[in-house]
Amino acid sequence: MRNVMPQTMMPQFEILERSGIGPVRLGMTRSQVRDALAHFPDSGLDQDSHPTLDYAFGNSLQIEYDDAGHAQFIGAGFYKGCGCDYMFRDRHVGEYGANELFRVLAEIDGGSHDFNEYDYFFPNIMMTVWDADSQYDYLGGESRAVYGQIGVANQTYCDAAER
């Protein structure tokens, strides 16, 4: 698990397939998420706006809960000023163009995958990508398409997504 505080004091959260993002893990309750994010006082955790969703770091981190109150989906969408950085395989998510990230995820997932710029679910690693657009290219000056969100999910979420 990568929760590094570099010299800038901005937390870096690693996106881990089938597991979670930073300190937030699939299966956690809302109180466990609150406790995990309490170590980051600038997280801006919002647990009051929606009964089954939490948001943190300027809404760049989204946590969706199942009917039993356990995290079933965690999504990250980086933008400058969100208050943290998101990493995948030791690279900032903003360094991946949409085509490259899709290829990397497809290779990890195995099987055959056709690029989808709007949304895609990788069933074996239980990860999602959403909305490839140049507006999300905050590190490259909006010069290429970057996915607006990368997510990890549990089996319950995956089963619902496949319906």
Task: Give residue-wise pLDDT tens across range 29-60.
Answer: 999 999 999 999 889 999 988 999 999 999 99
pLDDT at residue number 6: 46
**Arithmetic mean of pLDDT, 71-94:** 95
d(CA 128, CA 21): 13
d(CA 30, CA 6): 27
Candidates 105, 118, 116, 113; CA nearest to 152 is 105
Whether the pLDDT of residue 10 is over 90: the answer is no
Average pLDDT across the chain, whole number: 92
pLDDT at residue number 163: 65
* Residue 97 · residue 145 · CB < 8 Å: yes
d(CA 84, CA 13): 7
**Arithmetic mean of pLDDT, 132-148:** 96
Candidates 9, 10, 15; CA nearest to 128 is 15
**pTM of the entire predicted model:** 0.92
Residue the block writes with tokens 């163009």: 97
Q: Which residues contact 120 (CB under 8 A, 6 or more apart)?
A: 102, 113, 128, 129
d(CA 77, CA 69): 23
pLDDT at residue number 2: 52
**Arithmetic mean of pLDDT, 68-74:** 96
